[in-house]
Amino acid sequence: MCGIFGIVTREERTLGPVLIEAGRRLAYRGYDSVGCAVLCDDGTIDLRKDVGRVEEVAERLGFAEMRGRRGITQLRWATFGAPSRTNAQPHLDSEGRMVGAHNGNVVNNVELRERFIAEGMTVRSTNDGESCVHAVERYRRAGDDMVTAIRKAANDLHGDYAFVIGEAGDDRLYAIKMGSGLVAGIGDGFTCVSSDLPSILPLTRRVIRLNDGEIAVLDADGVTVVGVETGETVHREPELVEDDMETAEKGGFPHFMLKEIHEQPKVAGDLLHLLGESKHVVPFLEMAGRARHLYLVGCGTSHHACLEGAVYLNRLAGRSATPVLAPQFIAQYGASVGPEDVGIFVSQSGETKDVLNAVEAARARGMGVLALANVLGSTLMNAADHYLPLACGYEISVPATKTFTNQVIAFLFIAHRLGNRDADCLARIPALLEAAIERALPQVEAIARELADREDLYCLGYGLTFGIALEGALKLKEITYAHCEGMLSTEFKHGPLSAVTEGYPVLFVPGPEDVPVMISAINEVTCRGGRAICIAEPDPRIEANADHVVELPAAPPEVNPLLAVVPLQLLAYRLSVLRGHDPDFPRNLSKTLTVD
């Protein structure tokens, strides 16, 4: 995820402090590099950027002294191109006459770069933000005005993105929204545009929210909105925003965790776009496909994704894969793996110490190393032979939500490709996740109030939903502080069933293909007075046997687990709030564990 901000003022002034403060306001989104560009009245562009924190880079490069009438700042979370000064944004066009920055992913970036180079453009980076600038440059060279050039460029840029761009000798800035957030602000003698509200609210509370497929033309006196398809002006009155800063940062949600649960359809779509175009996919799959033994290695939530991945690989690709907790990898497999084996090492941060220890042990035995991680340029990605980015953006809340979903989607994609299967069902995932969230919200509320005082419960899955049950139990433990044990439903009768008493709650996650075996487990609980709460697609057999059913949208069997995790995330969230805890920052826990 990235953050962009642009401002147009009536007179030349020192814009550096405004750009620095806008960067600080966008920092909560997460980033690895920062840059500022100012378009000066003499026709020059002052561009300064580097890897690092806003304050450190600003001081080192003298952002505060930058002067002009138009300025752009950008915070970059690397997806295309490793974190570096060259890949940091904003970017110039070939002649240094235009400058721009983007937020989002342009998934055909590799092909565009090759085309731009072949056309004689000066391409300096591997970052897709530069492709946005060159895409406009192509049509400006052909004689089109800026709005027309941006409209045509939008047809060349595939993915979800927004960008802001300016040109020397033009008093305006231009911004386009094509899937990523964008809002414009109108003040006294200036206008501005940003990825979201926090960087605008300290300057003005009069805003225009852009819709997908719209261009904002900013001059010092106002904002004109133009439709990308028609080129016609869209008339929209500014609105007055009354949100406070904290609410704005959370997108109107009371907690980051709830915001990130709601972001899952969006990031799922981002990942699927990226995997459909990424140059990393083929070498990743080739190494995984020729492995003698394939190991899926992770900790906590990432391990649960590995459990899902192992079932997917078996069902869809006919491949045996061994999921293993990273700290156990050395003890259990460290002396037996070799050059013919491959591990897929999974980590949200790419810095998890237990995972890196396992990578080091694998390397010592000559084993192939593949990585799934969310942070480009992380230690894990740098250590891997090949990697796939998870494209989740920054996840602030300590409990993983959208990163888990995209880990599972990545494994589902890998299994489809290794099995040479039609992957059309994957395209439905974002819409199904959206429906699952909408459907679950009111259903979960009643259950949460019923369970708010419980200190002990179980969450049971089977087959494809085993890893989901473990993940749901982990979420409940993390942020409610109640004990919830996740396990295989068929194992429950081998001991834990003794815990069931009158009213004792047990959560069940039956996949559509496993209803008969789960009904047996449900009745083992209900006949002893326990309360069976099921998260499942509509099924008369489940409804006849369970005490309560949280209904999921109907989906292909392999997609069902992705939907089933949503009510469990929401249930954990609501229980945490009802019990008076902060779900974003649970006690004793850290987002990234860099110690043994």
Query: What does the pLDDT look like over 172-218, one tens digit per residue?
Result: 999 999 988 899 999 999 999 999 888 898 999 999 999 999 999 99
The residue type found at 468 is I
Give the pLDDT band of residue 595 (cuts 50, 70, 90): very low
CA dihedral 80, 81, 85, 91 (to 10 degrees): -40
Cα R_g (the chain), whole angstroms: 25
Residue partners of 130: CB distance under 8 A and separation at least 6 = 89, 91, 113, 123, 124
Q: Which residues contact 77 (CB under 8 A, 6 or more apart)?
A: 1, 2, 29, 30, 31, 32, 376, 393, 394
Three-state DSSP class for 472?
helix
Q: Rounded distance, CA 518 to CA 498, Å?
A: 18
Angle between helical axes of 402-418 and 300-317 (0-180°, round to 10): 20
User: Dihedral through CA 289, CA 293, CA 299, CA 302, nearest 10?
Assistant: 30
Parallel, antiparallel or unpaired: strands 183-187 and 206-209: antiparallel
Across the chain, which distance is largest between two alpha carbons, in Å?
Answer: 82
- Shortest CA distance to 356 belongs to which of 471, 375, 53, 585? 375
Backbone angles phi and psi of 458, in degrees to 5: -125, 155
Q: What is the 3-state secondary structure (H, E, C) of 56-95?
A: HHHHHHCHHHCEEEEEEEEEECCCCCCCCCCCCCCEECCC
**Residue-wise pLDDT tens digits, 495-505:** 988 898 899 99
Query: Are the C-beta atoms of residues 79 and 39 closer than 8 Å to each other?
Result: no
Most confident residue range from 251-260, 372-381, 408-417: 408-417
> In the numeric block, which tokens belong to residue 78?
């690397």
Q: Is the pLDDT of residue 141 over 60?
A: yes
Identify the pLDDT of residue 396.
Answer: 84
Collapse the DSSP code of 241 into the 3-class scheme (helix H, G, I; strand E, B; otherwise coil) and give the result: coil
Domain ranges of the chain: 3-8+80-249, 253-421, 433-584
In this prediction, residue 591 carries a pLDDT of 54
Let me know if 132 is a catalytic residue. Answer: no
Q: Of these residues, 2, 36, 132, 459, which one is catalytic?
A: 2
- Under a CB-based contact definition with an 8 Å cutoff, are residues 163 and 102 in contact? yes
What ranges make up the beta strands (E) of 462-512? 483-488, 505-509
For residue 511, the 8-state DSSP code is -
Please confirm, yes or no, whether 177 is among the known catalytic residues. no
Residue 590 pLDDT grade (very low, low, confident, very high; cuts 50, 70, 90)? low
* Top-level class of domain 3-8+80-249: alpha beta
Distance CA 31, CA 266 (A): 19
- The CATH superfamily holding the domain 433-584 is Glucose-6-phosphate isomerase like protein; domain 1 (3.40.50.10490)
Q: What class, spelled out in words, does domain 253-421 have in CATH?
A: alpha beta
Residue 203 and residue 224: Cα distance in Å, rounded?
19
What confidence tier does 593 reach under pLDDT thresholds 50, 70, 90? low
Per-residue pLDDT tens over the stretch 449-493: 999 999 999 999 999 999 999 999 999 999 999 999 999 999 989
Note the pLDDT tens digit of each residue in 321-361. Answer: 999 999 999 999 999 999 999 999 999 888 888 999 999 99
Task: Specify the pLDDT at position 592.
Answer: 52
Residues 60-100: tens digit of each pLDDT: 999 999 999 999 999 998 878 888 999 999 999 999 999 99
According to the model, what pLDDT value does residue 31 have?
83
Residue 249 pLDDT class (50, 70, 90 cuts): confident
Q: What is the DSSP code string of 123-148?
A: ---S-HHHHHHHHHHHHHHTT--HHH
Residue 124: Cβ within 10 Å count: 12
DSSP of 518-539:
HHHHHHHHHTTT-EEEEEES--
Evaluate whether 253-421 and 433-584 have a shared fold. Answer: yes
Amino acid at 119: E
> E strands along 317-385, which residues?
321-325, 342-347, 368-373
